[in-house]
Amino acid sequence: EVPLVESGGGLVQPGGSLRLSCAASAFSFTTSWMTWVRHVPDKGPEWVANITPDGSGTYCVDSVKGRFTISRDNAQNSLYLQMNSLRVEDTAVYYCARDFDWGALDIWGQGTTVIVSS
Amino acid sequence: TVMTQTPLSLSVTPGQPASISCKSSQSLLHSSGRTFLHWYLQKPGQSPQLLIYEVSSRFSGVPDRFSGSGSGTDFTLAISRVEAEDVGLYFCMQGTHTPRTFGPGTKVDIK
């Protein structure tokens, strides 16, 4: 059983929107901080956003503030990333991951690719 | 917090040691007294995996040939005897300051 499975990536035009989903299983999702990280080949990964276990607190990197929203549904064991006003520079592989210790991400999904291009 | 790594690429003979340096633009010592510097390896075709957390704690299942050290702004990941399965991209990442930030990565391959 794969603990984290992302979906929702694809090709979108600049200015468009996408909603990424991450389905969790085989660990205690409801008590876990969760994170989205994105990675462009040949560059270091970029931490995008994280969310507290109960969803009451969210934090985003400045480059996506006002455009991306992280959320979760603990009843569905699911994490989401709503991405609006997409830019070419948002093109990356997006991973969801569990944060068990202040940025120590111990469980990762397989990633979903987002391509922003006209 | 800007993270830098050196070298950016490393070619190692199997059985030989290797080390990667990671430096942060500000101290990673948290007010709690803990230092949230972590190391990851992304093997070809795979998602990143956690190797070391909080500078020197080896994550579950990580071979003991991997070790981490350092404090403040200077950190090192060492591999005592490199094996073929260790090839990939190594990243440091700080969790002390928001936003969390990663280093640019060090590509390790086998000679």
* pLDDT tens profile B13-33: 999 999 999 999 999 999 999
Average of pLDDT values for B85-103?
Answer: 97
Choose among A56, A49, A62, A61: nearest CA to A99: A49
Count interface pairs A-B at CB distance under 8 A: 66
Look over chain B and give the mean of its residue pLDDT values, rounded to a whole number. 97
Asked if the Cβ–Cβ distance from A103 to B94 is below 8 Å, we say: yes
Cross-chain CB nearest to B47 (options A43, A47, A95): A95
Average pLDDT over residues B41-51: 96
Query: Terminal CA-to-CA distance of chain A, rounded, Å?
Result: 37
When scoring A93, A96, A98, A105 by the number of chain B Cβ atoms within 10 A, the one with the most, hence best to mutate, is A105
What pLDDT does B60 receive?
A: 96
Q: pLDDT tens across A101-117, in order?
A: 999 999 999 999 999 99
Q: How far is A18 from chain B (nearest CA, A)?
A: 22
Distance of alpha carbon A50 from alpha carbon A60, whole angstroms: 7
- Residues in chain A predicted with pLDDT less than 70, given as ranges, are none
Residue B49 pLDDT exceeds 80: yes
